[in-house]
Chains A and B, each alone.
Chain A
């Protein structure tokens, strides 16, 4: 147990659905991240939030919309996804993001399947 929880753990959705992924960290960290993990590809950083402010957005399509209401919670809102968006979506947190000591604590992930 790393102190980072994610819900749901599994999600199947159609291309016209709207759903949200939730992440919560209980570690008192200031930075939170969304990563996408697809088969045979490296972990792809999607978004970084530091103290509830978005600091990185790595050219992610607008059908993915993050929200960080406070430093403990992070959401990823999904709408009109494509089958190629099927992947494991991992949330992570770290003490800070503008530091060289930013060990990432990952949640268990949400396995997303888009039909």
Chain B
């Protein structure tokens, strides 16, 4: 079945440093979604990417979808303590005939003030 790998599993950064998490799928994706889960909270949708090579920005967050639609990245510029949490990617492989999202294990971000 489809697998979605996400690295790194953990990242500790000093406040103000940049942060990047990477997501790789074993199959070509129809789209990829990104979620953030704060400690003790639930996943909250951040963005969806659909087109090959797509780049979207939300303030300090930049999301990219690879040309082959098998990988994606989330980059945070100048991290703040409010960025703390776990970031998940989730890929949709409609080619499998199922519209089921497959989540990565997530990258847990800690920001040292």
What residues make up the interface of A, taking CB atoms closer than 8 Å to B? 2, 40-43, 45, 48, 56, 58, 90, 97-109
**Further contacts, 18 of them, CB under 8 A, given A90-B42, A101-B48, A104-B43:** A2-B44, A40-B105, A42-B103, A42-B104, A42-B106, A43-B43, A43-B88, A43-B90, A48-B100, A56-B98, A90-B43, A100-B30, A100-B94, A102-B92, A102-B101, A106-B42, A106-B43, A106-B44
Residues of chain A within 8 A of B33, CB atoms compared: 103-104
Residues B42 and A100 in contact, CB atoms below 8 Å apart: no
Residues B43 and A100 in contact, CB atoms below 8 Å apart: no
Q: A31 — nearest CB in chain B belongs to which residue?
A: B99
Q: B48 — nearest CB in chain A belongs to which residue?
A: A103
Interface SS of chain A: loop
A102–B92 CA distance with the chains assembled, in angstroms: 9
What residues make up the interface of B, taking CB atoms closer than 8 Å to A? 4, 30-31, 33, 35, 41-45, 48, 50, 88, 90, 92, 94, 98-106
Interface-centre pick from B41, B99, B105 (highest chain A CB count, 10 A): B99
Residues A108 and B104 in contact, CB atoms below 8 Å apart: no
Residues A45 and B4 in contact, CB atoms below 8 Å apart: no
**A–B complex contacts, Cβ < 8 Å, 23 sampled:** A2-B42, A42-B102, A42-B103, A42-B104, A42-B105, A43-B90, A43-B103, A48-B100, A56-B100, A97-B99, A100-B30, A100-B31, A100-B50, A100-B92, A100-B99, A102-B92, A103-B33, A103-B45, A103-B48, A104-B35, A104-B45, A106-B42, A106-B44
